[in-house]
Structure 1
Amino acid sequence: MVKEVITSKDNTRIKNLRKLHKKKERSKTGMFLIDGEHLVEEAMKFNQQIHYIIAEENYTFSFDVSNFEVIYVTGPVLKTLSQLEIPQGVMAAVTYMPPEVSGNKVLVLDDVQDPGNLGTLIRTADAFGFGRLVMSRETVDPFSDKVLRSAQGSTFHIQLEVTDIHPVIENFEGLSIGTSLKDEEYLEDIPQADEMLVVLGNEGRGVSESALDNVDRTVKIHMPGDSESLNVAIAGGILMHHFK
C-alpha cells in the first residue's frame, strides 16, 4: 500500500495542528503537541489519549504504532509543526489523561511564570513522590512546548490541575507549608508528615499573602551565603527532597 505523505504546510489538518501552538486553541480543544521520540513513547506508556502521531515520511519507528493513526509529512511540513530548531522526526497530538495518585504529597504553585521553572518543578515533583501538582490559573500553561520539554515526560506521571489554589490549601487535611523570606521557621525545624502540601510562589513576589494565610506553617531555607533568595525551581527541589 502506498504511504500517503502530506507535502503542503497549508493542508487543513496541518493548519489545525499548528493552531495548537497557541494556548487558546489548546484550551479550546483539550489537545496539545508533543515533540520527539521520548515524549511520544512516554505518552503511550502512560496511557495518554493520542489522537495522531505525526512522523517525517522516512522516519523509522523503534516502537509499535499499529494502534494509532500516523500522519506522514515531509521534512519542511514537520518543521512548521515542531518548535525545535532541529525537529526529531516524530510528534503527536495528545489529550492529557491524569493518572490516579494517592494525593498524600501535593505541590501547589502560586502564579509561577517561567516555563523552564514549571517544567523543572513537574519533573522534580515526579522524582520525589509529589504525585499531585496544583497550579493557580495565572501559572504558565503546563502544556506549552517549553514546559513539556523541560518536564521530560513527567507530565504524564503525575496529576496536574489548574484551579483556584486557595480551597485546595484550606481543605488539605495534612501539614501545609508555604515558603517565605520573612522571620519564619527554618526548613530543618519542620517535622516530617505522612500527608504534606508545599506551596511555592511567583518568581517575583513569592507566595501571595492570601495563600500564606491558609497554610499551617511558613518556612524559609537556611542560606549561609550572600544571596537573598533562590530560584523557585531550586527552592522547590530542596523542599520536596526534604519531605520525600
Structure 2
Amino acid sequence: MVAPKHIASKDNRRIKDLKKLQQKKYRRKQDLFLIEGAHLVEEALNHGQKVQTLIALEDYDYSPYATADMEVITVAPGVMKLLSSLETPPGIMAAVSYRKPSSEGRRVLLLDGIQDPGNLGTLLRTADAFGFDRVILSPDTVDAFSDKVLRSAQGSTFHIDITVADAVQSAREFNGTVLGTSLEGASSLEQLELPEGPLMIVLGNEGRGVSEEVLSNVDVRMKIEMPGQSESLNVAIAGGIIMHHFKA
C-alpha cells in the first residue's frame, strides 16, 4: 500500500495547487482535473486514465484504489470540503490526467457551441451508450472536464475519445456522411436510413442551434418531427433520439 501524506491545513501549498484545478485555465496548464467520488475514481482506474493524486478523508479506506505510482494524500474534513464542489463532499477524490481511449471513429458526435454543463455531460453519456466513440467539441463548447460535466457524464468521459477542434473544419474534413440538425431545409429523421460507412452527427448551441458555417459543410440537414405543441427539444434529448436512431 502507498504510504500517504496527511494534510490538515487548508493553507497547505499542495492543497492550494489542487484547489486551482477547479478553474479551467489551471486544468489546461497542468493537464489535470479533479474527479469526486468512488464511482468516478474506479472508472478512471479501470479505463486507463492516469491518476496522479488520490485524495481521501483521513478515516477513508482508500486501499482498493491506491497503486504504487500515484501520490496519496489523506486530509481533514475541512480540507476535503475546500477541494470538493459538492455540498456534501465525498470520502475520496483524485487528480487525473486524461488519456484518450482508442476509437474507430466510425460514429462521431460533433458539438458546436454547447454551453450547459449538464447537457454536455448527458450527451457524452448518451454517445457512450449508443456507440459514438468519438466526440469533437468546438472551442467555445463548455469544458468537458469541469465538475458538473464530469458528474453528469457518470464515467463515460473515460470511455470515449474527446477532442477539441474547429467545428467547421471537422465537418468539412470528415471522411463519411455528416448529418446536422436544422429547422430549415431539413429532412425528417424518420425518413433517413442508416448511411453506409462512417457517420458524424452535428448538434448545436442551445439557443441558436448549429451555426450556418457548420451547416454549410454537412451532407444532410435533419430534424425531429414533433406532433405535440412544444416548439423545440432540449439538445441533450434531441441528441439521444438521433444517436439511438443511428446507433452503432
Letter in structure 2 aligned against 1:136: S
Aligned residues: 244
The offset of 1:61, in angstroms, is 3.1
Letter in structure 2 aligned against 1:172: F
Letter in structure 1 aligned against 2:233: L
Letter in structure 1 aligned against 2:145: F
**2:224 is the alignment partner of 1:232:** no
The equivalent residue for 1:84 is: 86
The offset of 1:155, in angstroms, is 0.2
Give the Cα separation in 1 of the matches to 2:166 and 2:230. 32
The equivalent residue for 1:139 is: 141
Letter in structure 2 aligned against 1:142: A
Query: Cα distance 1:78–1:200, how it changes in 2: closer, same or farther (>3 A)?
Result: same
The TM-score normalised by the length of structure 1 is 0.97
Give the Cα separation in 1 of the matches to 2:32 and 2:239. 28
Give the Cα separation in 1 of the matches to 2:138 and 2:19. 26
RMSD (CA atoms): 1.4
The offset of 1:2, in angstroms, is 8.6
Give the Cα separation in 2 of the matches to 1:66 and 1:115. 31
**2:206 is the alignment partner of 1:203:** yes
Letter in structure 2 aligned against 1:212: L
Same amino acid, percent of matched pairs: 57
Comparing 190-199 with 87-96, greater Cα deviation is found at 190-199
- Runs of 4+ aligned residues of structure 1 deviating over 6 Å after TM superposition are none
Query: Cα distance 1:14–1:185, how it changes in 2: closer, same or farther (>3 A)?
Result: same
Letter in structure 2 aligned against 1:200: L
Comparing 203-212 with 189-198, greater Cα deviation is found at 189-198
Give the Cα separation in 2 of the matches to 1:42 and 1:62. 16
For residues 200-240 of structure 1, give each alpha carbon's deviation from its aligned partner in whole angstroms, at most 9, with x where no partner exists. 00000000000000000000001000111100000000000
What secondary structure, in the 3-state scheme, does the structure 1 residue paired with 2:152 have?
helix
**2:76 is the alignment partner of 1:94:** no
Give the unaligned 5+ runs of structure 1. Answer: none
Give the unaligned 5+ runs of structure 2. Answer: none
Letter in structure 1 aligned against 2:230: S
The equivalent residue for 2:113 is: 111
